[in-house]
Amino acid sequence: MENPTEKKGMPLLGDVFPEMKVQTTHGQIDLPGHFAGKWFVLFSHPADFTPVCTTEFVAFQKRYDKFKALNCELIGLSVDQVFAHIKWEEWIKENMDVEIQFPIIADTGSVAERLGLIHPGKGTNTVRAVFVVDSESKIRTILYYPQELGRNMDEILRIVKAMQIADKNKVAMPANWPNNEIVNDHVIIPPASDTRTAKERLEQAKKGEFECFDWWLCHKKL
């Protein structure tokens, strides 16, 4: 019997990552519980033994320590059997001298369907999706790329770092942070939501608490 309160359709920003048991190259894992108290990045790829995906896995692994320094884990996924993942990992180790240390989900298609990852018109191949999940298991960022475009892992790292800073300091992050064209490495103070606060903003700026172009565009250095 279906649970009338169970959420249907692919998850959205702010949703708790759906609970599921997955088979991986590191054994069976319960998501999101396996990463309780940590951030994690779940990323799907179209298939093992494909050129763009190989470059992506090498790039993720070379930045794995940087993700872990942010209390963030990685977990890959494709609709391939676990032995294919293992042989592909062996190939990458033998030919690229890179050992893939994070788990890869061996999906039968059920996880991809649940997360909305199947690429239209590409059979069972998954899109290049990225789910950034915070330490409370909430989905904070979702990215989708076509098969012909490899991802920028430095941008994914930037997302995790920026979201953690925004959460901790109750601020927003400008475009291209930390190299914004207007405010450089400063962060954005959320806009005032009432007249009194709007007036106070400019007074606070005069006192040097932060800088403002106007009451609705204020920024500061952390």
| pLDDT at 32 (0 to 100) | 97
Beta bridge partners of 77: 44, 105
Residue 9 lies in a domain: no
Q: Write the CB contacts of 57 (distance below 8 Å, at least 6 apart in sequence).
A: 45, 76, 92, 98, 100
Residue 159 lies in a domain: no
Of 69, 42, 66, 74, residue with least CA distance to 140 = 42
Of 218, 173, 182, 222, residue with least CA distance to 200 = 218
**Domain containing 184 — which CATH number?**
3.30.1020.10
Rounded to whole angstroms, the Cα distance separating 127 from 27 reads 24
Residue 62 lies in a domain: yes
**10-residue block means of pLDDT along the chain (222 residues)?**
51 94 96 97 94 97 98 95 96 97 93 82 76 98 92 97 97 97 96 88 88 93 92
Instruction: Check whether residue 102 and residue 185 sit in a common domain.
Output: no
Instruction: Check whether residue 129 and residue 94 sit in a common domain.
Output: yes
Of 103, 101, 125, residue with least CA distance to 113 = 125
**Domain containing 37 — which CATH number?**
3.40.30.10
| pLDDT at 10 (0 to 100) | 81
Rounded to whole angstroms, the Cα distance separating 19 from 107 reads 15
Supply 146's token pair. Answer: 């076509």
| pLDDT at 121 (0 to 100) | 67
Instruction: Check whether residue 103 and residue 185 sit in a common domain.
Output: no
Instruction: Check whether residue 97 and residue 191 sit in a common domain.
Output: no
Instruction: Check whether residue 108 and residue 175 sit in a common domain.
Output: no
The count of structural domains within the chain is 2
Q: Which domain holds residue 185?
A: 170-222
Instruction: Check whether residue 144 and residue 174 sit in a common domain.
Output: no
Contact at 8 Å (CB) between 133 and 140?
A: yes
Residue 32 lies in a domain: yes
List 53, 72, 212, 218, catalytic entry: 53
Contact at 8 Å (CB) between 137 and 128?
A: no
Rounded to whole angstroms, the Cα distance separating 63 from 74 reads 10
53 is catalytic: yes
- Write the burial class of residue 37 (CB in 10 Å: 0-12 exposed, 13-18 middle, 19+ buried): exposed
